[in-house]
Amino acid sequence: MQKIRNIAIIAHVDHGKTTLVDKILHSCAIFREGQDTGDLILDNNDLERERGITIVSKNVSVMYKDVKINIIDTPGHADFGGEVERVLKMADGVLLLCDAFEGAMPQTRFVTQKALSLGLKPIVVVNKVDKENCRPEEVYEQIFELFFNLEATEDQLDFEVIYGSSKQGWMSTDWKKPTDNIFPLMDAILANIPPAPVAEGTLQMQITSLDYSSFVGRIAIGRVARGTIKENMPVSLVKRDGKIQKSRIKELYTFEGLGKVKVSEVKSGDICAVVGIEGFDIGDTIADFENPEQLAVIKIDEPTMNMLFTINTSPFFGKEGKFVTSRHLRDRLYKEMEKNLALKVVETESPDSYLVYGRGILHLSVLIETMRREGYELQVGQPQVIIKEIDGVKCEPVETLIVDVPGDVAGKVIELVTQRKGDLLVMEPKGDLQHLEFDIPARGIIGLRNNVLTATGGEAIMAHRFKAYEPWKGTIPGRLNGVLVSMDTGKTTAFAIDKLQDRGRFFIDPGVDIYEGQVLGEHIRDNDLVINLTKGKQLTNMRASGSDTNVRIAPAIKFSLEESMEYIQADEYIEVTPVSIRMRKIFLNENDRKVNAKKFVNQ
């Protein structure tokens, strides 16, 4: 048997996966003495570092006791489940991390279900046992129950448990007896995860990931399932639909530490990167030149939400971005589809607009934020859930929502969720918090997080995952208040904002350029109000005693991209440029809005 182990690290968001990979890299002496590496080494793009989450799965490898361990770090957020689904195909076992206080969370269930159904051997790591009021034994029982409910095999139920703290850099088989290193975990990997199997025969390798280099172009990454892949070897590329393209491999790389090392051949069981193959997609099979055999195509859960992406048509079009045409937008969206399997792009009747299907608000907002940073200008519409007809019944996606809140504000959360057609299923104490579980339509979750955090003073912990398609639950009330809409194009003045403060709360500061139809604030009533913020004070050469009062303006409310996506209604767009995020009405002119008002009533 060859000395290779392939493991994926899976967990709910923020349970410590990337921190654990850091400690494994350090303890296996990947870095030279005194090298400054920083924290969260694998979260290497700006968005991942800012948000503190993993978005794209990464591969690294370490050597431990003469065994090569390939480690795949996966995202923990439900919206990036597509990443997890495809990379698990490269693993023979999984490390399931679980927070010693929070226990099994919605995403823990989702990723565990995927891993168990693929027959992977699990090792459970109960992490963060250094936390106050942690409950490692209870969490172990909870995980066992979860495995049982997910119909794990007897071999999978007989899992090894390791306790420890990734942050403090120790692991142990007994949480009351801390060690000073993470080697107990590494020993458990060697003892429990099966070695990568050697399969003789003709070549088979499935492409499960992509990389890109400005020197050699697109690079295919995957695990060799059978046979041996060699440099300069002619191969067949079997597409998802069964079509076959002939190709040749130029270069081969395996993963070593954080980088790649060029090799002449790779045997079955190891993970490698292939250069030189053109026109491939994730899920395609690299097979023998003369007798190509296809591997089973990766199945990805369908998207549950869509948004309209269109070119920027505001009066400020082209002032802040580099890529502004519909051709730029189309090319960028189709390029994203190559590597983002859970994403789908559909062309609409208009040549300037595209419907983009994704897993949720975060999944789509990360794409928009990435495009914005690359210099794109675009507009996006209100997120809509995907409705299906099943056996003649109109059905919509329903999610399981879990909220942990202090007991004294649990009532407010229940009220907010039930207003949005949520059903309370579980209410039980969890430490000093109240643990609530609901079934709620996916439509009801859009815009809910802000309201819950406001009602609980920011103390609620929310998580949700897709459950199933269920019959339509009826209309859900949208935004309670109307908005303040600009009447004119120009610069805002402090004088005008001061005079209109009793009409609502503003989203913009004085001295900002605005245009007619832009959403400037929230009205105190439920209807929209058209206002003029560009009006200055009438100046005369006479001083009136007592009328020159100081202008006192409340700070403007600043929305993040996700908050804007949850805030807008069907008759509004978000204008996204590299510099600004503005909310606006689809019809900028007030008369046009009145004429077209009926279009949006039933949405």
What domains, with CATH codes, occur in the chain? 4-192 (3.40.50.300), 204-288 (2.40.30.10), 302-383+477-603 (3.30.70.870), 388-471 (3.30.70.240)
Q: Are 213 and 302 in contact (CB under 8 A)?
A: no
Interstrand relation of 251-256 and 204-213 (parallel, antiparallel or unpaired): unpaired
pLDDT tens digit string along 436-483? Answer: 889 999 888 887 887 888 888 878 888 787 888 889 888 887 778 889
Predicted local distance difference test score (pLDDT) of residue 391: 86
Query: How confident is residue 530, by pLDDT bands cut at 50, 70 and 90?
Result: very high
Closest Cα to residue 276, out of 328, 224, 336, 215? 215
The token pair that represents 118 in the structure block:
């693929």
Widest Cα–Cα separation across the chain: 97
Q: How many CB atoms lie within 10 A of CB 519?
A: 24
- Whether 18 has a binding-site annotation, put simply, is yes
* Coil, strand or helix at 438: strand
Q: How far apart are CA 509 and CA 325, in angstroms?
A: 30
pLDDT tens digit string along 267-277? Answer: 888 888 888 88
Question: Please, which residues have CB within 8 angstroms of residue 529's CB and are 6 or more apart in sequence?
Answer: 482, 483, 484, 485, 503, 504, 523
Query: How confident is residue 518, by pLDDT bands cut at 50, 70 and 90?
Result: very high
Predicted local distance difference test score (pLDDT) of residue 516: 92
Residue 68 has pLDDT above 50, yes or no: yes
DSSP string, 53-65: S--S-EEEEEEET
Task: At 149, give phi and psi (nearest 5°).
Answer: -65, -30
Residue 379 has pLDDT above 90, yes or no: yes
Closest Cα to residue 13, out of 509, 271, 363, 253? 363
- Whether 14 has a binding-site annotation, put simply, is yes
C-alpha radius of gyration, the chain, whole number: 27
Q: How far apart are CA 528 and CA 484, in angstroms?
A: 6
Closest Cα to residue 436, out of 447, 455, 446? 455
Q: Are 326 and 374 in contact (CB under 8 A)?
A: no
Q: Are 53 and 14 in contact (CB under 8 A)?
A: yes
Q: At what angle do helices 410-419 and 448-455 cross, to 10 degrees?
A: 160
- Whether 348 has a binding-site annotation, put simply, is no
- Whether 17 has a binding-site annotation, put simply, is yes
Q: Are 10 and 117 in contact (CB under 8 A)?
A: no
* One-letter amino acid for residue 520 of the chain: L
- Whether 128 has a binding-site annotation, put simply, is yes
The token pair that represents 21 in the structure block:
């990979």
- Whether 130 has a binding-site annotation, put simply, is yes
Q: Are 305 and 386 in contact (CB under 8 A)?
A: yes
The token pair that represents 186 in the structure block:
């590494």
Q: Are 140 and 96 in contact (CB under 8 A)?
A: no
**Token pair 């430490």: residue:** 431
**38-47, 323-332, 394-403, 495-504: segment of lowest average pLDDT:** 38-47
Predicted local distance difference test score (pLDDT) of residue 32: 43
The token pair that represents 63 in the structure block:
């050597």
- Whether 513 has a binding-site annotation, put simply, is no
pLDDT tens digit string along 176-226? Answer: 777 788 888 888 888 888 888 888 888 888 888 877 777 777 888 888 888
Q: Are 252 and 272 in contact (CB under 8 A)?
A: yes
The token pair that represents 556 in the structure block:
């403007």
203 CB-contact burial (10 Å; exposed 0-12 / middle 13-18 / buried 19+): buried
Q: Are 215 and 93 in contact (CB under 8 A)?
A: no
pLDDT tens digit string along 332-368? Answer: 998 888 777 778 899 988 888 999 998 888 888 889 9
Share the mean pLDDT of the chain: 83
- Whether 127 has a binding-site annotation, put simply, is yes
- Whether 211 has a binding-site annotation, put simply, is no
pLDDT tens digit string along 223-240? Answer: 888 888 888 888 888 888
pLDDT tens digit string along 207-219? Answer: 888 777 777 778 8
Q: How far apart are CA 237 and CA 247, in angstroms?
A: 7
Predicted local distance difference test score (pLDDT) of residue 37: 47
DSSP string, 313-353: -STTTTSS-SB-SHHHHHHHHHHHHHH-TT-EEEE-SSTTE
Q: Are 94 and 88 in contact (CB under 8 A)?
A: yes
Q: What is the pTM of this model?
A: 0.79
Query: How confident is residue 11, by pLDDT bands cut at 50, 70 and 90?
Result: confident
Predicted local distance difference test score (pLDDT) of residue 356: 92
The more confidently predicted of residues 431 and 312 is 312
What does the DSSP 8-state code read for residue 40? -
Please report, rounded to a whole number, the percentage of residues in the chain having pLDDT higher than 90: 10
Left, alpha or beta for 477 (phi > 0: left; psi -120 to 50: alpha)?
A: beta
pLDDT tens digit string along 544-602? Answer: 555 556 677 888 888 888 888 888 888 899 999 999 999 999 998 888 888 887 777 65
